[in-house]
Amino acid sequence: MVSEKIIYSILVVIILAGGASVGLLAGNAIGHTSSSSSTTQNIYSLTMVVQTDVQFNASVGGQPAFYVLQNGTLESSAMIYFPANTLIDLTIIDYDTGPAPLENNSYANVSGTVGGFEYVFNSTDPAGLNQSQVVTTYFQKATSINASNVAHTFTIPQLNLNLPLQPISTTITQFYLNQTGSYTWQCFAECGTGPLGQGASMETAGWMTGTVVVY
Ligand SMILES: [Cu+2]
Q: In this structure, what CATH number is given to the domain that contains residue 185?
A: 2.60.40.420
How far does the centroid of ligand 1 lie from the alpha carbon of residue 208, in Å? 5
How far does the centroid of ligand 1 lie from the alpha carbon of residue 202, in Å? 7
What does the pLDDT read at residue 121? 87
For the ranges 7-16, 26-35, 73-82, 92-101, the maximum mean pLDDT occurs at 73-82
Which residues have a Cβ under 8 Å from the Cβ of 45 and sit 6 or more positions away?
A: 23, 88, 89, 90, 91
Residue type at 9? Answer: S
128 phi-psi bin (left φ>0, alpha ψ -120 to 50, beta other): left
What does the pLDDT read at residue 75? 98
pLDDT at 26 over 90: no
Give the count of domains, the chain: 1
What does the pLDDT read at residue 96? 93
Short-list 83, 81, 84, CA closest to 68 = 81
Task: Provide the terminal-to-terminal Cα distance of the chain, rounded to the nearest Å.
Answer: 42
* More confident: 54 or 133: 54
Domain range for 79 is 2-214
Q: pLDDT band for 93, please (50, 70, 90 cuts).
A: very high
How far does the centroid of ligand 1 lie from the alpha carbon of residue 90, in Å? 17
Residue type at 193? Answer: T
What does the pLDDT read at residue 4? 44
What does the pLDDT read at residue 122? 79
Q: pLDDT band for 127, please (50, 70, 90 cuts).
A: low
How far does the centroid of ligand 1 lie from the alpha carbon of residue 65, in Å? 7
pLDDT at 40 over 80: no
| pTM of the predicted structure, to 2 decimals | 0.79
Phi then psi dihedrals of residue 200, to 5 deg:
55, -115
Beta bridge partner(s), residue 62: 55
Q: What is the DSSP letter of 19?
A: H
